[in-house]
Amino acid sequence: MSMAKRFYEKNPTVCQAIETLFMMPVNVQVKLSQVLLDLIHQNYNGKQRMSDYKSLGPDKSLALYKSKRRKRSYDNCPYLHEAMNYLMILSPQEQEQVATDILNMTQLIQDCLEWYQMLALQPDPRQLAKLMDSYAEGGEAAGRTLLEEAQNAYLEGSDNTATRPVMTADMRILR
């Protein structure tokens, strides 16, 4: 059995969330990283933990020191670099909770992008940012509500009922 090389490879949920984050466009990665930093600071007292190196233990302290070399693929983006370092200092249970948030946010973004694609429209980066901010402030329900409100507002403004998409309960679009 091989030992996991990176901290996020130890838990399959965390690994899936990080890999999903890495597949996002750079501008979405930046915004997601900012939202993650906000969530970690709000819910897990991230700044206090980061300032107390002694409580992190030698492995995490060494990893933070090495991260300053910026040799990892995600180190080119300052926000992603910082978010990954904060994620690393969390306990495995907290990492999994944050990973679930990442997966939920990326699903929300994907649902929004599918909506734009179905309408043959260019995605609006401001709308995506608004969705992520809404998620950070009020959780998944707030993000879903905002997406649904935007979709309903668009549908109400559409003249042709024959071309309107139909929304299912889980926010999937049917034609």
pLDDT classification of 4: cutoffs 50, 70, 90: low
16, 55, 62, 63, 70 from 104: Cα distances, Å: 12, 30, 31, 28, 28
The answer to whether position 116 is within a domain reads yes
80 — pLDDT class (breaks 50, 70, 90): confident
Residue 154 CA to residue 165 CA, distance in Å, equals 11
What tens digit of pLDDT does each residue of 31-52 get? 999 999 999 989 988 778 777 6
Q: Is residue 84 part of a domain?
A: yes
Task: Identify the domain containing residue 63 by its residue range.
Answer: 7-174
Residue 102 confidence (pLDDT): 94
The 8-class DSSP code of residue 78 comes to H
Collect all residues with Cβ–Cβ distance below 8 Å to 95 and sequence separation of at least 6: 7, 8, 11, 14, 87
Q: Which residues have C-beta within 8 Å of that of residue 92, sequence separation ≥ 6? A: 10, 11
* DSSP codes of every residue in 24-71: S-HHHHHHHHHHHHHHHHHHH-HHHHHH-HHHH-HHHHHHHHHHTT--
d(CA 66, CA 131): 34
CA distance 33 to 29: 6
Residue 66 is predicted with a pLDDT of 53
Classify residue 160: in a domain, yes or no: yes
In a domain, 2, yes or no: no
Statement: residue 174 has pLDDT above 80? no
CA angle 70, 72, 5 (to 5 degrees): 130
Report if residue 41 sits inside a domain. Answer: yes
- 138: in domain: yes
Domain membership of residue 157 (yes or no) is yes
Q: Do residues 92 and 59 make contact, with C-beta atoms less than 8 angstroms apart?
A: no
Domain count for the chain, please give it: 1
pLDDT band of residue 5 (cuts 50, 70, 90) is confident
Assigned domain for 33 exists: yes
Smallest CA-to-CA distance from 21 within 5, 36, 10, 40 is with: 36
